[in-house]
Amino acid sequence: MSVTNVKAASKTSKAVKTPKKSAQNVAVEQVLANTPVEMVPLSELVHTALNVRKKKPNAEKLQELADSISAVGLLQNLIVYLMPDGLLGVAAGGRRLSALTLLRDAGRVAADHAVPVKKVSEDMAVIISLTENGQRENMHPADQIVAFGQLSATGKSAADIGGMLGYSTKHVLKCLRLAGMAPALLEALAEDTLNLDQLQALSATEDHERQLNVWKNAYGSYRNPDELRREVLRGEVAAEGNGKLAFIGREAYELAGGEFRYDLFTDKGFISDTVLLTTLANQKLTEIAEGIAQAEGWSWSEGRIGSISTYGEDAERYLLLNQPAAAFTEEENARLEELDNQLEALSEQEDSEEADHEALERAAESCQDEMETIEDVAKVRAWSEDVRAHGGVVVSLDGDGIYVRRGVMLRSDVPAVETKAGANETCSSIRTEDETQASAQTKPLSAVLVKSLSSERTLAVQAALAQQPEKALVIFVHDCLKSVFNHRSYSMSTLKVSLHQKTGVMLDNAPTAKDSLAMQSLNAMHATWEAQLPENWDKSWDWLLEWDTQQLIAVMGYCLASTLDGESERLSDKDGKAGKDLEPVEALLDFTLRDWWLPTKANFFGRISKEQISDSLSQAGLEGAGRDVLKLKKGDAAELAEDKIMLTSWVPDCLLPVSETPALPESDTGKPETGTQTTETPSESTDIAA
């Protein structure tokens, strides 16, 4: 929402203004009605900073006004106030004073020419200036922002200013927030080299140096408000949907010294100290884990953000024991049977038209909650004292709640426990890498899905490469070297020298990517470059001779990036990757797919089985959600997975590079290609940033 309802060079939306006559207008009318007109010499009148209109008047129109005043006289009095030096500052009527000054300089009126004025207080002068100029459609937003700042400097609150001028308090707060921006940016707004939406985006941070640095280093599509806001907020995390903040509570976070910022223009909050938030969450989880271990008799406990994984370092350190069958007492079995009968009776009552369905639903939920509590107690009781004496409990974050994993063994303790009767029977097998691959072979991804995933990965890398045109040039030159100096090589070029754009093909393969972040970036760059092409540009290249080298490199980088083709119809045989040929480019760009793409119901979860959805969530450290999806219908399971996965940085393993620094493509002979240095990685061969 824009902060001004006056017309400006930038595209703005209208601010909320009360339709009835405002307190401002009433106050102005009363003051002016009770203030007599005085005649003062032109020499005593001066322009003042309190006049909210800062834009210089059009010279031609100003001359027309001067000629009109010379012919028929001044038809409207000026509004002035007494300044400390004894002169009269003009708060309303600045153009008229400029026109009179023109006449004086031309010798058409005398310096002591009598001018009609009304004298008011300094505060009222600002309000009258806002009233007069605010009703004219040409008032610039920069003028209104500065004027609100002047009123605030006199001690008036946002509510006071809004009440006087007829604006909402929130609108005034937005203006005051912008009034505190870096002065150079306010000057840029007044000069129309920066628009209001861009200024609002930069205001997401109060650091003037960062505001200026982001604006100075932004170019092309990176000057759109969304990109500017994202850049100034780099290092901060949105509070909305943040599981750690929900778990800890904003009050506890702020009491510990954490900063919480609220963006007036997006109505969103942001967390500045993510390290503190993580520390607080870990402390709380640790305390909960210690309490459970002490109450239930576990030998050790641990609190951690993510749940224990069945692969990687966790698999090397921990062994997860199977949950033994719940051990119910006779009283618990009797109560469960009683509750089950109650649920059946409640279900029968639901069929009656006269039934209080809300009350019945509450009663049923109460029964189910009690049954779950009894079952939970019985499950805890089932763990033997021997296992508790050697095992531990791990409490981790699950969304904004917790997940308790009992029966966790440290692998270093296993030899001492395996010899004890019964303990070894509870040990669960940990999925090895071989077993994971075997599982993937029994449930392969379809060719259509592999093509779609590899195409989405390609689009993301295209967008990232287009943002670093110098590196696109590096890859292109390398391809040229291969074709000239190693013409016997049968290895494929990374980019297609024929310049056949592949973006459209990727979209055909992956229609779910139409609105992706990658396509938004590519479309914005496409529009920016297209707007710079002259009429009939394709008939001649003479116009390109006027472009500097950086422009040529930048547009060539965009065009070359669109030729990138990482499409594959099946996973690579050795590594099980989709779009594996993209890895060298990703390494060169320091590319992270999660910055551009995330799995959704449409592009991934809705196209795999529930078991695969469950496995995906478990790999992401969301074991609780992984179990939950198995109880749902396929569509609901996919939706749940989409919601939960957004809280993580997980992407399917088939889209991740085998290593962080893959080698450059080699020829079919297995020897490094001519023109490359075998000791360099792509990231070492060039350090040019776009």
Classified as helix, coil or strand, 654 is: helix
> Where are the chain's structural domains?
23-205, 282-438, 447-535+542-592+668-685
**Looking at per-residue confidence, does 393 or 22 come out higher?**
393
Residue 131 has pLDDT above 70, yes or no: no
Q: What is the pLDDT of residue 593?
A: 86
Residue 102 has pLDDT above 80, yes or no: yes
Residue 665 has pLDDT above 90, yes or no: no
Read off the pLDDT of residues 459-479 as tens digits, 9 standing for 90 and up.
888 888 888 887 777 777 777
Max Cα–Cα distance, the chain, nearest Å: 115
Residue 427 has pLDDT above 90, yes or no: no
Residue 36 structure tokens: 């007599």
Residue 528 has pLDDT above 70, yes or no: yes
Return mean pLDDT, the chain.
Answer: 76
Q: Express as a percent the part of the chain with pLDDT over 90.
A: 5
Cα–Cα dist 362/690, whole Å: 60
In SS3 terms, 319-387 reads as EEECCCCCCCCHHHHHHHHHHHHHHHHHHHHCCCCCCCHHHHHHHHHHHHHHHHHHHHHHHHHHCCHHH
**Looking at per-residue confidence, does 99 or 674 come out higher?**
99
Q: What is the pLDDT of residue 299?
A: 92
Q: Please, which residues have CB within 8 angstroms of residue 558's CB and are 6 or more apart in sequence?
A: 466, 469, 472, 525, 526, 529
Q: What is the pLDDT of residue 78?
A: 85
Section 500-527 average pLDDT:
79
Please report the DSSP string for 555-604 in residue order: HHHHHHHTT-----SS--TTT--SSGGGHHHHHHHT--GGGT----TTTT
Sign of CA dihedral 515, 519, 521, 522: negative
Q: What is the pLDDT of residue 291?
A: 94
Does residue 15 contact residue 1 with C-beta atoms inside 8 Å?
yes
**Looking at per-residue confidence, does 433 or 294 come out higher?**
294
Residue 134 has pLDDT above 60, yes or no: no
Section 57-80 average pLDDT:
79
Section 396-406 average pLDDT:
86
Q: What is the pLDDT of residue 302?
A: 93
Section 185-201 average pLDDT:
84
Cα–Cα dist 68/209, whole Å: 48
Band of pLDDT at residue 586, cut at 50, 70 and 90 = confident
Stretch among 186-190, 380-384, 446-450 having the lowest mean pLDDT: 446-450
Q: What is the pLDDT of residue 434?
A: 37
Read off the pLDDT of residues 596-636 as tens digits, 9 standing for 90 and up.
888 998 888 888 888 889 888 988 888 888 888 888 888 88
DSSP letter (8 states) at residue 494: S
Predicted structure pTM score: 0.40
CATH class for the domain made up of 23-205 = alpha beta
Stretch among 18-22, 140-144, 250-254, 383-387 having the lowest mean pLDDT: 18-22
Residue 431 has pLDDT above 70, yes or no: no
Question: How many CB atoms within 10 Å of residue 534?
Answer: 11
Section 207-212 average pLDDT:
82
Question: How many CB atoms within 10 Å of residue 81?
Answer: 21
